């Protein structure tokens, strides 16, 4: 047989060769990637695993190409590749050299602001400006039926956005508001575990929606 053993998980198949290298087929459920490249990753023997990556839409194949018989640091892993990605734009790698370009239609943040008690806005990094916030009771029900009662402190944030191609002009622009929520204790299925539950999050504000209404919608819709 070609493979010593194999394993299958959701959206992932992997088979190990006799030399310890593995072949991998995987599928992503979000975004897209196209391209190919040869990557060198460090291994437990402080040498390099040479691998061919092939990416097509949401599918990725990793094909082993043997070892490099020299020390390869985890901080110094070269690759020779060309990729186009929804998330990371267009990128070229040649050894340790890398160039990348964002897509012109990607969103660019012109400002990220917090709402003050008088209704005005200030940059979130302006630590002297205290945002307006208010606390409300928040109930979350675990899959086990256990009920978590928390206090949720809510403030409002605003992103001012434009397309990256027009960031120099800052136009056309639009704003997107959200609530920032801080819980009094951990929330969700991981509460009390080593991973920990959620202690804070954001949630989009709909047009003409109040922060309290957005919190109640999050309380009904969101799973942690």
Terminus-to-terminus CA distance in the chain, angstroms? 44
What pLDDT was estimated at residue 2?
80
What pLDDT was estimated at residue 203?
97
What pLDDT was estimated at residue 1?
60
| Residue 215 DSSP label | H
Q: How far is CA 217 from the centre of its chain?
A: 23
62, 49 contact by CB (below 8 A): no
Bridge partners (DSSP) of residue 216 are none
Please report, for the chain, the start and end positions of each structural domain, with discontinuous segments joined by +. 5-101, 107-221
What pLDDT was estimated at residue 46?
72
pTM for the complete prediction? 0.72
What residues in the chain have per-residue pLDDT under 50?
none
Taken as a whole, the chain contains a residue count of 224
Bridge partners (DSSP) of residue 81 are 37, 93
User: What is the per-residue pLDDT across 100-139, written as a single tens digit (0 to 9) for each?
Assistant: 999 999 999 999 999 999 999 999 999 999 999 999 999 9
- Token output for 209: 């929606």
Bridge partners (DSSP) of residue 26 are 12, 60
145, 173 contact by CB (below 8 A): no
């Amino acid at each position: 047989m070609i493979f010593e053993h194999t394993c299958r998980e959701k959206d992932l198949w992997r088979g190990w060769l006799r030399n310890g290298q593995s072949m991998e087929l995987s599928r992503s459920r979000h975004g897209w990637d196209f391209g190919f490249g040869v990557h060198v990753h460090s291994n437990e023997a402080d040498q390099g695993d040479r691998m061919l990556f092939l990416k097509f839409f949401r599918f990725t194949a990793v094909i082993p190409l043997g070892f490099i018989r020299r020390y390869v640091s985890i901080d110094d892993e070269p690759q020779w590749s060309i990729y186009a990605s929804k998330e990371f734009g267009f990128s070229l790698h040649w050894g340790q050299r890398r160039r990348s370009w964002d897509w012109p239609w990607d969103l660019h943040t012109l400002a990220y602001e917090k709402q003050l008690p008088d209704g005005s806005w200030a940059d979130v990094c302006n630590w002297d400006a205290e945002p307006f916030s208010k606390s409300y009771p928040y109930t979350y029900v675990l899959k086990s039926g256990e009920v978590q009662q928390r206090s949720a402190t809510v403030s409002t944030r605003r992103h001012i956005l434009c397309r990256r191609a027009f960031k120099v002009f800052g136009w056309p622009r639009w704003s997107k508001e959200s609530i920032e929520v801080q819980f009094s204790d951990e929330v969700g299925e991981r509460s009390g575990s080593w991973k920990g539950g959620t202690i804070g999050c954001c949630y989009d504000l709909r047009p003409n929606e109040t922060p309290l209404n957005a919190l109640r919608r999050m309380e009904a819709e969101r799973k942690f």
